[in-house]
Amino acid sequence: MSSLSKLLALLCVLLPAAAQAEGVPPALYRAAQGPELAAQIEIRADGHFDYALAYGALDEHAEGLWTKTDTGIALTTQPKPKPPEFRLDHQGRAGDAPFALLVRWPDGRGIAGVDFRLGLADGSEITGYTQDYGWRLGDPEKGKPVWIELAEPMHGFTSPRFPIAAETHSMTVTLVPNDMGVAAFDGTLFESGGEGAYLLHHPRGDIRFRAISPRS
């Protein structure tokens, strides 16, 4: 290999990945998706990105690395976020009251708006959502609860199916937030959408962006 060829090969290795990308130049991109959604992505020439989004009650952000793909770049959040989790803390076994559920934060505050599916012994199911003071089975004649599944719809995560012991009359579940609000991009594609637009293939649906200013 000639000295010139060796130099060119070395430059290809040392060039930041962003500088070699095709179709998605380093820049600040802002969402062009209507007034209800605000989002931006900063693509930097050193191979890093920053992302933020606000949509109604949902706020999320991320930072990490991007790599070149055939059609644009792929975003990967680093460090990898730890997802939230539902932790079963207590099953009460005293009294004859109808089954009751409380979902709370680690500091003990109750959480409203957590969806649930409650499976009964006869094979039927009850669906609903919690209030900050919990939820109670209003008609015990509907059947004996045998399992429950929980879902936090805002950030889109679910619990495992928790079995409910025969003598259980109440359950307390703690929602441990961990890295709630950090977008878990794992090779999420960001590419040109034509006519000056760029598309982020967000796990919840495509978001259209436009470049605002170049970045170095």
Q: pLDDT (tens digit, 9 = 90+) per residue, 166-181?
A: 888 899 999 999 999 9
| Res 43: pLDDT | 96
The Cα–Cα gap between 151 and 183 comes to 17
Q: pLDDT (tens digit, 9 = 90+) per residue, 127-155?
A: 999 999 999 987 666 678 999 999 998 88
The Cα–Cα gap between 56 and 58 comes to 5
Q: Give the pLDDT band of residue 12 (cuts 50, 70, 90).
A: very low
| Res 67: pLDDT | 95
Mean pLDDT of 77-89: 95
Among 2.60.40, 2.20.70, 2.40.128, 1.10.10, what is the CATH number of 16-81+181-214? Answer: 2.40.128
Top-confidence residue, 21 or 170: 170
pLDDT at 11 over 60: no
| Res 6: pLDDT | 35
Mean pLDDT of 101-117: 96
Q: In what order do the strands lie in the sheet with 135-136?
A: 85-92, 170-176, 100-104, 135-136
Is 30:44 a contact under the CB 8 Å cutoff?
no
What is the location of CATH 2.40.128 in the chain? 16-81+181-214
Burial of 156 (0-12, 13-18, 19+ CB in 10 A): exposed
Mean pLDDT of 46-70: 94
Please report which helix (H) or strand (E) contains residue 11, including its range: helix 3-14
Q: Please, what is the average pLDDT of the chain?
A: 86
Q: Give the pLDDT band of residue 96 (cuts 50, 70, 90).
A: low
Half-sphere exposure of 13 (CA within 13 A, CB side): 6
Is 45:65 a contact under the CB 8 Å cutoff?
no
Half-sphere exposure of 167 (CA within 13 A, CB side): 4
pLDDT at 17 over 70: no
DSSP-assigned beta bridge partners for residue 210: 30, 197
Q: Provide the CATH topology of domain 85-176.
A: Immunoglobulin-like (2.60.40)
Calculate ∠ Cα 178-175-103, nearest 5°: 170
Top-confidence residue, 8 or 212: 212
What is the location of CATH 2.60.40 in the chain? 85-176
Q: Categorise residue 169: left if φ over 0, alpha if ψ from -120 to 50, beta otherwise.
A: alpha
Is 75:199 a contact under the CB 8 Å cutoff?
no
Please report which helix (H) or strand (E) contains residue 70, including its range: none
